Structure 1
Amino acid sequence: MRYVITGASRGIGLEFVQQLLRRGDTVEAGVRSPEGARRLEPLARESGNRLRIHALDVESDASIRSFAADVCASPVDVLINNAGVIGLWCALTDVDYADMARTFAINALGPLRVTSALLPALRRGAVRKVAHVSSNMGSVTNNTDGGAYAYRMSKAALNMGVRTLANDLRAEGFVTVALHPGWVQTDMGGPQATLPAPESVRGLLRLIDGMGPEHSGRFFDYQGAELPW
């Protein structure tokens, strides 16, 4: 199977790459700066031609076009939209709207841009799956403590995009879902996070592998529990 992963140089994205390579899959890894992808380079050498590293800034239309030109030469089976930022966590009176706009551009618009650019290759793929790494913090129902405006609102917007993509692409046999990885021990998750990245990604891959038409347009956590929008 041929996978495309955005935000692949660290954290959850890097763990996706490692687990997919170990099981024999091929990976196209999008990273904000190839020079900063030092942890991927040994994996690329060890895997032969099963891992390729590409520059990808999901805020930039030009970068996405260049990435798609490289990737779309062959069919893509699964796209994992993982790239994201946490944005500033602050009180309402301290919201930085420039930071909020950037957080939206990366977390909500980036996955839409990448999915659209890769559609030709996804249409030639064997399974036509698109998974979006979202967050329980994007759930309107589960928001009981407020704060984190940029992150929460950007992930809620992503979730709406996932539902809309599912409706628009269902007739072509696409399956697209939003996935909550848990509170993962990564740079973004911070020092208090409780879940090791390998455990989270094992669960996410199990979900992606088992995704069928009945799952499209829905929101799940890494253990398979369905979350409310």
Structure 2
Amino acid sequence: MAPSTWVVVGASRGIGLELVRQLLGRGNQVIAAVRAPETANEIWQLAAQQTRPAACLIEQCDVTKEASIDAFVGAMKRLIDQGVRIENIVLNAGILKYPNQRATEISFGDFALHLHTNTIGPIIIAQKLLKISEAAPPAKVIFISSDSGSTQLFRDHEDGFGAYGASKAALNQMLRHMAAELKRKGGKHADVCVLAMHPGEVQTDMANIDLDWEVEGIITPEESVRKMLVVLAEKGKDDSGTFWCWDGRLRAQVSLGSVLILYPVGGHGDTRVFYRRRTTRLSCAGRDTVVRSVPKLKATATTTATATALATRYFQKPCTQYGEKGSATAATTIWGVPSRLPLSE
């Protein structure tokens, strides 16, 4: 991505701090929002190391307090009025209090704190920043979410993650509504790309807790951010409302009631369509299971063009491709489609 201006909310440590560091290293201007500037020593040190004027601006923003959010948005409006174009917004602020998050035990206050920090605050900030930039809205609004909030891939082993998972699930649903509303609004807002990102199992202060289960694939903030930036650079308005992993895998946010598989027939340019109304949940990690689970007795023959047109009518792009072993034909394409796909088609 060409250098531009980024807003990073939740920039004092961990993923947010590393994001600011890498963005500055690529020549971007960064507005770093932190809850308590007086104690955010590392972000001040990072800002002081910059040789470019106003490369890193530090602002105060407590996502749990509406007055603080309004003051921060006011500061952003003043920058916009001075000619600054905010291209990208990252909502990274978050909290994870463990283990007292169980649905059977959590207090009113702790549940409210997770919702205000992980869901309500980030959504309201994005909403208000979009309103003050009507003439030139940002290209991308990125919410740092989590696999723990996936309703499709529910993790029942994450004991004590109830409030965190619920707050991230609510965030995922709200940002999808935000993406849809911006598209309906039309004009320049239809070009805004709203994304959810799962940063991976990252070794940060927030994640430095003693869990009752083994966490696999732990990565550093440096690796997480570096790879997320690659993914973000590839996304545009057609991807708005989707949920992506740090390594580029697409995460389904809602239950995929059906699966449509386009299976190429070698040498004839034809495609067999395999369709099943209820199938195993579709994730990129489980594509082999999906292929095996769809009964080929349900197949109907059609042309590749017709089958692709049918799939694109219900789903914007394929979730993944599955290459048949020993086959000279093109890769099988798996499409997740909503359950409203009529059987007659």
TM exceeding 0.5? yes
TM range (shorter): over 0.9
Matched residue, 1:81? 91
Shift of 1:122: 4.4
Shift of 1:94: 2.1
For the 8 Å contact 1:87–1:100, the answer to whether it is kept is no
* Alpha-carbon distance in structure 2 between the residues aligned to 1:96 and 1:49: 43
Q: 1:68 to 1:92 in 2, by over 3 A?
A: closer
* Alpha-carbon distance in structure 2 between the residues aligned to 1:11 and 1:41: 15
For the 8 Å contact 2:130–2:138, the answer to whether it is kept is no
Query: Secondary structure of the equivalent of 2:250?
Result: coil
Q: Which shows bigger deviation, 45-54 or 28-37?
A: 45-54
Query: Secondary structure of the equivalent of 1:177?
Result: strand
Shift of 1:96: 2.0
Matched residue, 1:62? 67
Q: Could you tell me which runs of 5 or more consecutive residues in structure 2 were left unpaired when the two chains were aligned.
A: 210-214, 254-345
Matched residue, 1:19? 22
Task: Provide TM-score, normalisation by structure 2.
Answer: 0.63
Q: Can you list the C-alpha shifts for 1:28-56, whole angstroms capped at 9, x where unaligned?
A: 01100001110011221122411011110
Q: 1:43 aligns with which of 29, 43, 46?
A: 46
Q: 1:175 aligns with which of 165, 181, 193?
A: 193
Structure scoring higher RCO (CA < 8 A, sep ≥ 6) equals 1
Matches of residues 93-104 of structure 1 in structure 2 within 5 Å?
A: 93-104=104-115
Whether 2:223 is the aligned partner of 1:199: answer yes
Q: Which shows bigger deviation, 215-224 or 138-147?
A: 138-147
Task: Provide TM-score, normalisation by structure 1.
Answer: 0.94
Q: 1:139 aligns with which of 133, 146, 150?
A: 150
Shift of 1:68: 1.1
Q: Can you list the C-alpha shifts for 1:59-78, whole angstroms capped at 9, x where unaligned?
A: 11111111111122222110
Instruction: Kindly indicate which of the two structures has a greater share of residues assigned to helix.
Output: 1
Whether 2:115 is the aligned partner of 1:107: answer no
Q: Could you tell me which runs of 5 or more consecutive residues in structure 1 were left unpaired when the two chains were aligned.
A: none
2:170 is aligned with what amino acid?
A
* Alpha-carbon distance in structure 2 between the residues aligned to 1:117 and 1:92: 31
For the 8 Å contact 1:79–1:131, the answer to whether it is kept is yes
Matched residue, 2:288? none
Q: 1:189 aligns with which of 207, 210, 218?
A: 207
* Alpha-carbon distance in structure 2 between the residues aligned to 1:31 and 1:158: 20
Query: Secondary structure of the equivalent of 1:189?
Result: coil
Runs of 4+ in 1 over 6 A off after TM superposition: none
Whether 2:168 is the aligned partner of 1:155: answer yes
For the 8 Å contact 1:81–1:132, the answer to whether it is kept is yes
Matched residue, 1:3? 6
2:153 is aligned with what amino acid?
N
For the 8 Å contact 1:77–1:122, the answer to whether it is kept is no
Matched residue, 1:53? 58
